[in-house]
Every structure is written in structure tokens, then in C-alpha cells.
Structure 1
Amino acid sequence: MVEYSSRSTGKHSSKLGLLSPEDKRSTGFEDKMSDMIAALVHASEKAAKIARACRLEESLFGLLIEEKKEGEKNKKFVTDFKTLADVLVQEVIKHDVGKQFPGIENNIFGEESNEFMNGLGEKIHVKVCETEQETAKLLSKVLDGNMKAAEVLARSAHQNIVIPDLNTGRIDIPQDRLGVWVDPIDSTFQYIKGVSDSKPNNNIYSCGLQCVTILIGVYDLHSGTPIMGVVNQPFAVQDPETQRWSGQYYWGISYGTTNVCSLGPHSKNGGVSSESNSMPAPQHLKKGSAADLEEERFSAVLSTGETVCVQTLLKEACGDNIHYAAGAGYKSLCVVLGFVDVYVFSEDTTFKWDCCSPHAILKSLGGGMADLKECLRRRQDGNREDCSELVYNVPVQDVKGADRWANKGGLVAYRSHKHLEAVLNLLSGISV
């Protein structure tokens, strides 16, 4: 059974929202959604530790890769991989959040199947068991009896995590309205490749472990709008002496008239992970007013897989302020952090689990994530006022597998509506 750190001290910690159901009943404590974001951050930090643990030993990491089945592949890649780290992270998030908010685990959805086939041809469904020993025994079956590796992973899955008070204030949202999208390790290819010496250009990494993110987004099951998001960057900084990595996380809540974010002035921790308290604030936070930001030259981050037409148009508009990076989650994070004004992707190979969490954070900052092709279609029909934001509760019709949850119209992630308008004006002539 997972014990949260707040309980291991023998004290209750309602600020962190880490009380057990028994504690809540005994103290008259009622669930509130300010505790939900704390639970998501807590789960993301545990997930980040698992991701780092799996990369710590190459011999261990080599055991954790299994090629995805044809129906699970992202068509953008010739070879796409499912790692045990991916699946374990996803199951830990489901387990821990579901334990604190009973019933919500039925509405937690992710990219990965939890089914593995071991060397003996046995199908094993990965999950977090009641005890660390039981989890290790289960994982050893996936790892063809390698108990040492299984124990390392089980220890990470059951460890205690401490996070600071997030200072969200009280935010009440009916739990039965909430769905959760999880991308346990976004940019799996970069995670597997493991490049650690990538150099940034204007704070942006084009590739490498820095592009890996853990994404947990909460949305309204009825309207499909994003409500809360956590983006965890488990490989944010590497210590040059020990070669060990530390991470950083960011969160945001946008519900009704409430908009709070770890990057806002209300936050004391600035989004910095408990393992990385010495990290400086992002440079964009030191800039002037929002008006000053609007006066800066238009900038964008793209995928190398973007169409030639869109790349050409954006290069003409942005000049040197065009960047390329791996990972949909990381590119969205670049917009969240203000390193670029927009992330544009016209293809249909991003998914709901890629976008829900950064979308919620962008909403809390006054931005959003729009359906590119639907916005362009509406403009071509003469409707320039109504922009279509991505929603997270409606699958693509007549499609099977992962593509049911693809963003078929592409996307534009933005912090300012002015920059969204600039993108739509620029691309208004392309075919939709």
C-alpha cells in the first residue's frame, strides 16, 4: 500500500491533499479540487522518479523495451516503442490518484496498454499492487525473472514523495464531471535514445532527454474543456559532476473565473520541482508587461515533420524566430514558458493525451490550444470571430485504435490571442 509522506510523519496535511479516505472521514475533511492538482503533481513527481530510475542503468533500461503492436503505433514513426517505464508510470498515476479520489480511476485514460508479453509468451497486465513485494513479483514476470530490475522499479512505484504547498486556494469542481488524460512519457523515442548533451538554442532543445515530458490533464467529461494540467520535465538539468538528472514541473487550473498557475505571481515555488530548488526562474518571467511581450517579433516552434507549405509560410513570417523540437508536450511547454509565441502543427499525429495538460495551463495564462483546420474552415466561411478550441471528450468517428483520439485538425498552441490571429491570417490560404 502506498503511504504518502504527509502520513509517515504521523501528521495530517490537508494543504497537500494527501490524506487517506479514513483521515478525511475522521476529520470531516471534504474532497476539493485544489487537492486534485496536488495529487496530480505528486503522481507526476513519482512518475518522474521512475523515468529517471529506468535510465540510471543502461543494462536495466535495455530490458524495458518492447515494440508496439501495429494497431498501437503512431504512424509518424517507422518504429514506435512501448516501454515498461511508460506503462508503469501510467499505472502509478491511475493507482495513486484513484486511491485518493475513489472512482476517478475509471475515468483516467492513457496512451499505453498495460499488457506485456514476456519471453515465455505469457501475457502480463502491469499494475501497482498493494505491497512493494507484490509489485516486484509481478514486474519480474515481465522482465523474464530479473528480480533485481523488478525490485528497482517496484521501489520507485511505492516510494514516498514530498511536494510543497501549491497555494491554489479552494477550488470546488464536482468530481463526477472529471476525466483525466495521461501521457506517461511523451517523446518516447528521445527517452530511449537518451541523448544528454543536447545544447539549447534560445532556451529550446531540438532533441534529447530535455524534450521528454510527463503529461497529466484533467477535462470536463460533459463539455470536453481542459480544467487542470501538470507538465513534468523529469530531465530538466543534469549535474555535471554526478551526471544525475533533476526535474521540474509546471501546473495550471482554469475553471470558470478561476485561473491559477505555477508560473503566476501567486506561486512561491515558481513551478520548481522539490528535487531542483536551485533552478532559476525562466527568463521570460523577467520580461516586462504583457504589452511588451506583444511587441516582440512573432516566434514559433515546429515539428520537423511539418508540411513544407506550412514551414515555408512560417519561415517567411518569423525569420530567425523559428525553432524545431521533439515531443508535442515539450513544444507546448515552450509556449507555456514563453520561449516562443506559438506551436503550430498541421498534421493529425498528436493526440488528446499530448495536449490536455498543456492546454489547461495555457488557458490559465490567457491562451489556449486551437483546432487549426476547424479555425481556418470557419474563417473561410466568413466567421472570423469564433475560434474552435480542442476538446477532449469526443472521439473521431469511424476510426479504431489510437487514432480515435487524434487531433485530426492539427493545432495551434498560443499564449496570446493576437498570436493565434497572426497564425490564422498567415495560413488562411492553405487547403483545409
Structure 2
Amino acid sequence: MKTQQCLYLLDSRSRTRAVGSTAEKSTTKEIMKASSVLQLFLEVAAKASEIATVIRKERALLNLLVEEKPEVRKNHQFFQDFKTLADVLIQETVRHFISQKIPNLGDSIYGEESNSFTNIKGDTIIVEVCHKQEETTDLLKKILDGNDEAAALLSEAIHNPPRINVSSETLDVEIDTSDCGVWIDPIDATGQYIKGDIGVEDENGITGDGLQCVAILIGMFQKSSGRPLLGVVVQPFAQWNSGTKSWTSTTVWGICHKKLQATSFQPSAIKGGTQPMIVMSKSESEHVHNALSSKYKLISASGAGYKILITVMGLANAYVLSHQSIYRWDCCALHAILLALGGGIVSYKHAVEMASKSQVQLTASDLENLQLNYMKAAGAIASRRCSLPNSAESLPGIIAYRSADDAITILNLLKLIDL
């Protein structure tokens, strides 16, 4: 018989408020250096990566903690969609530690998952992070049916401070965090995470399936404009070492705010001398395939975040998705990185409509006006946790690109579909 538990993993300061309640909003500006915000985001991303790794190390633990999402919350692109404790713990860990350092962001952190989790025993649990590691360990023992070792490992991953230092020399731009929000995708490509296969890299450096496609996405956006301004992306399972039987993670970040455009890496140039490539979903329509294949080589890969990351890293010229199976939490972090590189992410529907109606060729300025907006979720963001349909409005497809020229070429091909 199913039971319902409410195991509140709460910060001690939050015990008197109901889960999901909205705190009184502050009108006071909270100015922070971009370097300080980035330092915090990298720290919580490192914690998130460790949580994902710890859970994957023990197959029995992973099997225990998988929960299939109810029909109303499913991404209809897939026959099955899953929520794991990894998703919930990562999202609540990110929320907890960002809120500790930047309190006025606490009610403006939005994610894919709710903090309600049901394990295979039928226990429903409300998950948040405790103030002390010992409290978190004790409560995780209850969630994990007395698995002391797993609870201790997870609690340690949540509470241990990672060793990360960010150089602030070129990141001195100021961010008004009172005008900001955060979108989190705690485990992008959850299906690949659950399967746990080791993917095979092709000749282009792309892995179509496997744990390499899994990503943790944390993006900050400006409420007044809706534009992304900072993003951190982690691949917990970026590279497999067959000798040590272990994974190495990779972290990429980017900032595009005011006059600052900075990233953590020197991006590779789009490969010249070969046919340009577009990465797409395996379920993309035949019409879109036919329109783009005249100019581009088309490839597929798992995970919305991974497909955008392929574009960020210059392994593909663009990622094109024509249907509504992607959300703001999939895009925000990587959008900030693409903007820092001179690229962007536009709405597929609105960009194709504009290209079809325009009497002249679109320009980079037109693309600027078509960039995704991260504040307009179902008209407004009403809930601290955005897993419910009325606050998790899907996007009408996207085109993510590194070069404005590629985006314009793609739109010129797509506008011919309906002619």
C-alpha cells in the first residue's frame, strides 16, 4: 500500500513557511560583480555534477530512485519520461546554495522538476536541502530505505565546498541580482542518464547517444529584458577512461552582459572545407530535413542541452528544432554562452514567419529581435517551482547558431517549405 510522507529537507530559516509560498519581494537593488556570481554558479554546478556521479555509481540505487512522470507532465516527444532523485536533489541543492548567498534570488529560481518525488515503494517525499550535513544524511536514509552509505555519499556531495577559483580581472561588470532569475535543468537527457551507456564518438567528435549527452544547465537571465546573461553547463560524463573505469567531467561557462562577452574556452572555428552540419532531433519532420539537406549535412544526437552544446563548441553550425518539445530550462544557460560567442537562439516559429513575410533578406539586427525571452513563461512566472503545465510553457521550436550568416541561410531554406 502506498504511503505519503513529507520529509522536508529544509534550511532552518525556512521551517515556518509553506513549500512553494512566495516571499515578499524586495525592491532594493543587490549589486554583485559578475566574477562573484560566476564563482557561486560554478560551485553549485560542481556539487550537482558530484550528485549525478554518486547516484550513477550504484545501479541498485539508481533503479530504486527512478520515477516515471505523470502523463500531464510528460514531454510528448518521448514515449516515456523520467524524473530521478538526482534531478530533484540537484535542483534543490542549486536552489539552496544560491539562495543562501543571494537571498533575493530565492523566489526567482525556476526548474524543470517539482521538489516532490515518489520512489518505487510508493513513498511521496518533499525534498529540500538541510542546513546541516548530518540532518541531510539522516533524512536521506529514510528516503533510501536505510542505505547509510549512499545517504552519506549524497549528503557529502551536497554539503562539501568545491575548490573553484575564478579570476576576476576581466569579469568586473556589475549585475543587479534583484532584476535576475535562474533557470535550472538538473539532468538534461535523463533517459541517457538512466540507461547509463557509454557512447561512441564519431569522426566529427560528436556522441549521438550515451552518458556523454547528459548535461546540467544553470542559466541566469535579466527579468526586465528577459535576456540570458550568464550560463554554466556541466557534462558530468564527458570522457570515459577505460583504464581507470572512471569519468571526467567538463564545465563550460559564458557571460554576455553590458559590454562584457566572456567564455571559459577558446571556441573552435566552424570546420571549413567540409559540408556544414546541423544537429537535429531524431523526431524532426521530413519537410525540415528536405529543406536543409540541400545545404547542410544533418546529424542527430540525444539531449536538447547537448545539441546546443555541440553548436557552442563549433562541432555543428546550428541546432534546428521545429516542434514544441523544448523549454526555457533547456536553453537559458547555453543561450548566454552563445551570445558571448556572437551567436544566439531564436524562436523557430517566429523567425520562419518573419523570413517568409519579409520582402528583403533578414539581417543580424532582425535576429537580435527574435532572441528567446526567459521571462514570458505562460505570460508570467508565477511559481517558484515550474514543473506544472501552466507555468512550464514549451517553446515553439528553436534555431541555435554560432554565426548569424548560418542562421540567415537556414531561415532562407526553411521559408521555402510552405511556398
The one-letter code matched in structure 2 to 1:394 is K
SS in 1 for 2:220: strand
Structure 1 residues 210 and 186, CA, compared in 2 at 3 Å: closer, same or farther? same
User: What is the aligned partner in structure 2 of residue 304 from structure 1?
Assistant: 282
User: What is the aligned partner in structure 2 of residue 393 from structure 1?
Assistant: 375
The alignment of Structure 1 onto Structure 2 pairs a total of residues equal to 379
8 Å Cα contact 2:308/2:334 also seen in 1? yes
User: What is the aligned partner in structure 1 of residue 300 from structure 2?
Assistant: 324
Which one of the candidate residues 382, 385, 409 is aligned to 2:358?
382
Which one of the candidate residues 325, 330, 334 is aligned to 1:358?
334
TM-score by length of 1: 0.82
- Please tell me whether residue 78 in structure 1 is matched to residue 79 in structure 2: yes
The one-letter code matched in structure 1 to 2:289 is Q
For each residue in 1:348-377, what CA deviation from the matched residue of structure 2 results, as whole angstroms up to 9, or x when unmatched? 100000000110000000000011110111
8 Å Cα contact 1:124/1:141 also seen in 2? no
User: What is the aligned partner in structure 1 of residue 148 from structure 2?
Assistant: 147
8 Å Cα contact 2:118/2:124 also seen in 1? yes
User: What is the aligned partner in structure 2 of residue 244 from structure 1?
Assistant: 246
User: What is the aligned partner in structure 2 of residue 12 from structure 1?
Assistant: none
Q: What is the distance in 1 between the residues matched to 2:410 and 2:333? A: 22
- Please tell me whether residue 372 in structure 1 is matched to residue 348 in structure 2: yes
Alignment of 1:30-45 (within 5 A): 31-45=32-46
- Please tell me whether residue 416 in structure 1 is matched to residue 403 in structure 2: yes
Q: What is the distance in 2 between the residues matched to 1:403 and 1:423? A: 32
The one-letter code matched in structure 1 to 2:317 is D
8 Å Cα contact 1:348/1:406 also seen in 2? no
Structure 2 portions without partners, runs of 5+: 1-8, 10-29, 382-386
Structure 1 residues 166 and 212, CA, compared in 2 at 3 Å: closer, same or farther? farther
- Please tell me whether residue 334 in structure 1 is matched to residue 310 in structure 2: yes
Which has the larger displacement, 151-160 or 175-184? 151-160
Alignment of 1:236-315 (within 5 A): 236-264=238-266, 285=268, 297-315=275-293
The one-letter code matched in structure 1 to 2:258 is G
SS in 2 for 1:214: strand
Residue 249 of structure 1 deviates from its aligned partner by 0.5
Q: What is the distance in 2 between the residues matched to 1:398 and 1:180? A: 14
Structure 1 portions without partners, runs of 5+: 2-28, 265-283
Q: What is the distance in 1 between the residues matched to 2:211 and 2:73? A: 23
Structure 1 residues 94 and 398, CA, compared in 2 at 3 Å: closer, same or farther? closer
The one-letter code matched in structure 1 to 2:195 is K
Residue 106 of structure 1 deviates from its aligned partner by 1.2
SS in 1 for 2:410: helix
Structure 1 residues 248 and 196, CA, compared in 2 at 3 Å: closer, same or farther? same
Higher RCO by CA contacts (8 Å cutoff, separation 6 or greater): 2
Calculate the aligned-residue CA RMSD, in Å.
Answer: 2.4
8 Å Cα contact 2:217/2:305 also seen in 1? yes
Residue 392 of structure 1 deviates from its aligned partner by 0.6
SS in 2 for 1:60: helix
User: What is the aligned partner in structure 1 of residue 384 from structure 2?
Assistant: none
User: What is the aligned partner in structure 1 of residue 192 from structure 2?
Assistant: 190
For each residue in 1:64-113, what CA deviation from the matched residue of structure 2 results, as whole angstroms up to 9, or x when unmatched? 21111222211111111100011101111111111111221211100001
User: What is the aligned partner in structure 2 of residue 430 from structure 1?
Assistant: 417
User: What is the aligned partner in structure 1 of residue 138 from structure 2?
Assistant: 137
Residue 224 of structure 1 deviates from its aligned partner by 0.7
Structure 1 residues 166 and 194, CA, compared in 2 at 3 Å: closer, same or farther? farther
The one-letter code matched in structure 2 to 1:396 is A
Which one of the candidate residues 221, 224, 228 is aligned to 1:222?
224
8 Å Cα contact 1:111/1:402 also seen in 2? no
For each residue in 1:125-184, what CA deviation from the matched residue of structure 2 results, as whole angstroms up to 9, or x when unmatched? 111101112112222232233333222211211122111324442120111111000000
- Please tell me whether residue 204 in structure 1 is matched to residue 206 in structure 2: yes
The one-letter code matched in structure 2 to 1:196 is I
